């Protein structure tokens, strides 16, 4: 009994007492302690990432945005819809930065219907502009999960089997108005290998949890706006590929942005294949990307050629996707007092003295880094600065010998 009294109540062991980690600095501010807690939370997320799994590198993602009357609530300022659209703008930029050979589309659901705002495409500016336009739309009617799934499935089921098919639903409503049995469409979505994830803005909904469980997706309910942003950022990294995803060699074309397909058509406006069904003036242009196999014209990359089914990408996009296959290993956490050195312990990357009691070491190059540089190396740089500098030094030395 004495041991139980020392440990306290059993329920208390389930919670991390972060308030005990708060300490004032010399000026009486708690900002340094709060930042340290947030940084360490990000580091725990890095350590929890699953490694040595096959990822879905070529992603086709539809984002379903709830625009029902529930999204007019003001628990997120100024409203749920506007707050969601602002965060989705940052998500779209980060998505294409980390997944340059992937595609994304937007679906809006309100008044018991679902409408496609943007088609699947690789141009982030087009999606961000559409999100900004949606901020002026009214939140009316009820949300329909079934209609949203059917609309997204109509496009995703035609995507190649080697790509990742995903659906991210931003849902603020606690109900869904569906024309028939929604369990049938959930089974169809699961059979089509579409990974569905839901971010709830109000409370947990049973049917959404069932959808995510049957499609191997994730279901989370936000706590506040910062937690909302963190949940969205979790969908930036490619998810593990499903067991039904094919592993095969993919034929790709690398077109250049040119004036025309031949000399006779260089200065003549022509219609691109991606806007063939559109009647807008933007459909005609004198420049574009021409498929090296059938000479079909497109205005953006990446895209799959509608004429010959050749995947068209740019070489820089393919190179930037490489870091997902071989992410840097997590740095080893050490105590500053355990490091034997003549002077102060400095970060190898930023060359600033490490005042924190914890220091992080790359086990390959054995260089030491501060917490900020550790997060920067894994989240943004995707490589160890120490290992990269050593490789560059070896290249320079080999070149000088030759």
Strand partners, 107: 64, 116
Q: How confident is the model at residue 242, as a pLDDT?
A: 61
Secondary structure percentages of the chain, helix, strand, coil, to 5: 40, 20, 45
**173: burial class by Cβ within 10 Å (0-12, 13-18, 19+)?**
buried
User: 3-state class of 298 per DSSP?
Assistant: strand
Q: How confident is the model at residue 264, as a pLDDT?
A: 46
Q: What are phi and psi for residue 183, nearest 5 degrees? A: -65, -25
Q: How confident is the model at residue 35, as a pLDDT?
A: 60
Q: How confident is the model at residue 250, as a pLDDT?
A: 74
**315: burial class by Cβ within 10 Å (0-12, 13-18, 19+)?**
exposed
Q: How confident is the model at residue 247, as a pLDDT?
A: 57
Asked if residue 185 lies in contact with residue 204, where contact means CB atoms within 8 angstroms, the answer is no
Give the 3-state secondary structure of 99-158. Answer: CCCCEEEEEEEECCEEEEEEEEECCHHHHHHHHHHHCCCCCCCCCCHHHHHHHHHHHHCC
Q: How confident is the model at residue 378, as a pLDDT?
A: 79
Place of tokens 């002077």: 343
Q: How confident is the model at residue 76, as a pLDDT?
A: 93
Q: How confident is the model at residue 10, as a pLDDT?
A: 47
Q: How confident is the model at residue 97, as a pLDDT?
A: 84
User: By C-alpha distance, which of 122, 121, 118, 178 is closest to 150?
Assistant: 178
> Taking the chain (402 residues) in consecutive chunks of 10 residues, what is each chunk's mean pLDDT?
48 52 65 62 58 61 96 94 96 89 93 94 90 93 96 91 89 95 95 95 95 95 92 87 62 78 57 66 73 86 83 77 71 84 87 85 89 83 82 55 52
């Amino acid at each position: 009994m004495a041991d139980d009294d020392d440990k306290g109540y059993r329920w208390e062991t389930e919670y991390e007492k972060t308030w005990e980690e708060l300490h004032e600095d010399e000026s009486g501010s708690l900002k340094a302690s709060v930042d340290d807690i947030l940084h360490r939370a990000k580091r725990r997320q890095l350590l929890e990432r699953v490694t040595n799994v096959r990822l879905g590198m070529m992603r086709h993602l539809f984002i379903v945005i709830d625009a029902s009357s529930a999204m007019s609530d003001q628990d997120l300022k100024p409203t749920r819809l506007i707050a969601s659209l602002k965060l989705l703008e940052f998500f779209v930029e980060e998505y294409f930065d980390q997944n340059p050979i992937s595609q994304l589309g937007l679906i809006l659901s309100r008044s018991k219907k679902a409408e496609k705002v943007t088609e699947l495409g690789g141009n982030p500016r087009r999606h961000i502009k559409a999100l900004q336009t949606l901020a002026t739309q009214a939140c009316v009617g009820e949300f329909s999960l079934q209609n949203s799934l059917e609309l997204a499935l109509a496009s995703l089921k035609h995507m190649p089997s080697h790509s990742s098919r995903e659906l991210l639903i931003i849902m603020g409503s606690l109900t869904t108005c569906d024309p028939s049995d929604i369990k049938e469409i959930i089974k169809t979505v699961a059979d089509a290998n579409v990974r569905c994830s839901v971010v709830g803005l109000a409370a947990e909904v049973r049917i959404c949890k069932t959808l995510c469980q049957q499609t191997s997706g994730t279901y989370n309910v936000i706590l506040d706006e910062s937690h909302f942003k963190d949940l969205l950022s979790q969908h930036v990294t490619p998810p593990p590929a499903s067991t039904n995803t094919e592993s095969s060699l993919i034929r790709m074309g690398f077109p250049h942005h040119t004036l025309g397909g031949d000399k006779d058509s260089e200065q003549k406006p022509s219609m691109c294949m991606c806007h063939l069904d559109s009647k807008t003036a933007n459909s005609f242009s004198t420049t574009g990307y021409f498929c090296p196999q059938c000479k079909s014209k497109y205005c953006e990359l990446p895209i799959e050629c509608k004429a010959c089914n050749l995947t068209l990408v740019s070489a820089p996009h393919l190179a930037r996707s490489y870091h997902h296959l071989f992410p840097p290993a997590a740095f080893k956490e050490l105590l500053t007092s355990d490091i034997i050195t003549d002077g102060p312990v400095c970060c190898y990357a930023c060359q600033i003295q490490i005042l924190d009691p914890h220091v992080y070491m790359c086990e390959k190059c054995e260089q030491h880094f501060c917490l900020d540089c550790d997060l920067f190396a894994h989240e943004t740089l995707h490589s160890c600065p120490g290992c990269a500098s050593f490789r560059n030094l070896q290249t320079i030395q080999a070149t000088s010998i030759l």
